[in-house]
């Protein structure tokens, strides 16, 4: 990713995305030529001079990183940048020549990281993302449960109205049966007694005794929250 600054475009080597939208910039451009030259130095004096040059390169790179001020270019970025060195020995050799490098790095808002510390940082970030994902899932489950409860409450209302209408239909049916028995069938049977009826028998029309079953679910009342886990535990005990 390219970051635009007043002095031009900056291209950090790595941007670590943190939960909550924060960013940590990691730089891996620290010059190591002087240290590598020191390893091939023909004598101690040359080796010592190369190591001093290596320490100056590390200090100068710290100053360069501090001057870039990535935290002013990226949103929600902590006020420091991580300077990655590919081994503890690179920074250890620089510290032997310049013991004040750690304090200087703090002043420049630069944190030096070896492979071990960078991996630890990335693992901590990965753990943070897992926790963030779990929190997102918990919020989604809570919202889904609330939506399901509201829909069940609405459905229970519909079932209640259906039961009421069924009861009314049964009542109307039974009233009709009563009227049929007391008014119509009496005359029809009289026809039979007078020999004017057909050959078929008029069967008995029965009333419906069973009513629609009521839906008993207090937790589904509209506006009532479902029982919490603690309340469910108390009931089950």
* pLDDT, position 11: 81
Query: Domain segments of the chain: what residues?
Result: 3-131, 149-213
- Residue 198 has a pLDDT of 64
186 pLDDT band, cuts 50/70/90, is confident
Q: How much is the pLDDT for 230? A: 44
DSSP string, the chain: --EEETTEEE--SEEEEETTTEEEEEE-----HHHHHHHT-SSHHHHHHHHHHHHHHHHHHHHHHHHH-GGGTSTT--S-EEEE-SSHHHHHHHHHH-TTHHHHHHHTTEEEE-HHHHHHHHHHHHHHHHHHHHHHHHHHHHHHHHHHHHHHHHHHHHHHHHHHHHHHHHHHHHHHHHHIIIIIHHHHHHHHHTT-S-SS--PPPPPP---PPP---GGGSTTPPPPPHHHHHHHH-
Taking 60 as the threshold, does the pLDDT of residue 188 lie above it? yes
Whole-model pTM: value is 0.56
Structure tokens that stand for 150 in this block: 């509201």
Least reliable range by pLDDT among 19-33, 88-102, 123-137, 191-205: 191-205
Per-residue confidence (pLDDT) for residue 119, from 0 to 100? 92
Q: State the average pLDDT for the chain.
A: 83
pLDDT for position 22: 83
pLDDT at 220 over 80: no
- Bigger pLDDT: 212 or 25? 25
Lowest mean pLDDT among 48-57, 113-122, 214-223: 214-223
Residue 229: pLDDT above 50?
Answer: no
pLDDT at 196: 64
Q: What is the pLDDT of residues 46-93, one digit of tens each?
A: 999 999 999 999 999 999 999 988 888 877 778 899 999 999 999 999
Nearest of 85, 62, 79 to residue 23 by alpha carbon: 79
């Amino acid at each position: 990713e390219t970051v635009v600054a007043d002095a031009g475009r900056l291209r950090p080597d790595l941007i670590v995305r943190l939960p909550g939208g924060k960013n940590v910039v990691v730089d891996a451009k620290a010059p190591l030529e002087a240290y590598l030259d020191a390893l091939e130095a023909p004598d101690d004096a040359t080796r010592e001079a190369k190591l001093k040059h290596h320490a100056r390169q590390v200090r100068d790179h710290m100053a360069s990183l501090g001057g870039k001020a990535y935290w002013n270019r990226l949103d929600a970025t902590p006020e420091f940048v991580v300077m990655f060195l590919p081994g503890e020995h690179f920074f250890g050799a620089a510290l032997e020549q310049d013991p004040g490098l750690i304090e200087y790095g703090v002043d420049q808002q630069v944190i030096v990281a070896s492979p071990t510390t960078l991996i630890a940082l990335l693992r901590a970030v990965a753990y943070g993302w897992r926790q963030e994902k779990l929190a997102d899932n918990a919020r989604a489950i809570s919202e889904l449960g609330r939506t399901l409860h509201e829909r069940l409450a609405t459905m229970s209302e519909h079932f209640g109205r259906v039961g009421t209408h069924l009861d009314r239909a049964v009542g109307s049916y039974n009233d009709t049966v009563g009227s049929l028995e007391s008014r119509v069938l009496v005359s029809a049977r009289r026809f039979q007694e007078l020999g004017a009826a057909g050959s078929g028998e008029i069967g008995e029309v029965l009333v419906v005794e069973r009513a629609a079953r009521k839906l008993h679910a207090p937790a589904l009342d509209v506006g009532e929250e479902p029982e919490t886990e603690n309340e469910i535990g108390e009931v089950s005990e």
